[in-house]
Amino acid sequence: MILFLAGTSDARQLAITLSDAGHKLLTTVVTDNASIELRKAGLDVLVGRLTSEDFTQLIQEQGFQAVVDASHPFAEEASVNALTAAKEAGVPYIRYERESQSHEQKGVTMVESYKEAAERAFEKKGVILLTTGSKTLQVFAEKLLNQPDIRVVARMLPRKDNMEKCEQLGFSQKDIVAIQGPFTKEFNYALYRQYSVTTMVTKESGKVGSVDEKIEAASELGIETIIIKRPKIQYENKFSNFSDVLKFVNEKLRKEAKATGGY
């Protein structure tokens, strides 16, 4: 049985791939909304944030044979907790992560952190569109809100907790775009023009995260782009395609079955 960290569209497809190959999974996600499509696919789902101790207890109590981490590239806390728990419980940890892309081009600045992104945006002034989600919104709010010559527009998932956070931080309703992607280049283009965006801030989420569409639209309009690089985590058994994950899982579980006489 496999403990599977999900939460994104490609993670869901990988979970289905493993399930179709005959592996029994328990998927984990943070929100109820993220669990809907997994349940529609017939997968078991556990909803809620888990500490490393929670993961370890879960692995030991339910006898999981492996942990497959297909969480978002920026869900570093979940990944570190799962990796730590897998080592503690003595089971294989497998990381699936979307391929990283190079965005070295005119008008694009790569930064190491949310704080650095906020500082760069502050220097540029103008209309700044945040497409970085709600988790780190406070970093940008503290640096950019209520500053002369700066308007901050936040685009994020249309969840109640996100709207409450925006209100608490001081974002006005006219500066909130509550909508769920993925978005086409044409949609991004129209949004940038609607708000007269001069700088767009995003994360290095990969092709599945529709980063290309954001950057291409921004480039055509002459909009500066700030991209936050992925967290630097020393993963074990890291793969970027489904077939390699499935092959590795099959081999690991086959070896374990042989060792325990179940093969």
Residue 153 confidence (pLDDT): 98
Measure the N-to-C terminal CA separation of the chain; round to a whole number of Å. 15
Is domain 2-99+232-259 annotated with CATH 3.40.50.720?
A: yes
Residue 130 confidence (pLDDT): 97
What are 107-159's pLDDT values in tens digits? 899 999 999 999 999 999 999 999 998 989 999 999 999 999 999 999 999 99
- Please state which of the four CATH numbers 3.40.718.10, 3.30.1310.10, 3.40.30.10, 3.40.50.720 is assigned to the domain occupying 108-228: 3.40.50.720
Domain layout of the chain by residue ranges: 2-99+232-259, 108-228
If you write DSSP's letter for every residue of 224-260 in order, what string do you get?
Answer: EEEEEPPP----SSEESSHHHHHHHHHHHHHHHHHHT
Residue 221 confidence (pLDDT): 96
Domains 2-99+232-259 and 108-228 agree in fold? yes
**Average confidence (pLDDT) per 10 residues, the chain, 263 residues:** 90 94 94 88 93 94 94 90 94 88 77 96 97 94 96 94 95 95 92 97 78 91 94 87 94 73 52
> How many CA atoms lie less than 13 Å away from 105 in the CB half-sphere?
14
Residue 263 confidence (pLDDT): 43
Q: Which two tokens stand for residue 227?
A: 């991209």
CB neighbour burial string for 82-108, b if at least 16 within 10 angstroms, e if fewer: bbbbbeebebbbbbbbbeeeebeeeeb
CA 197 – CA 219 distance, rounded (Å)? 12
Residue 261 confidence (pLDDT): 58
> 223: part of which helix (H) or strand (E)?
none
Beta-carbon contacts of 229 under 8 Å, excluding residues fewer than 6 positions away, are 110, 111, 112, 204
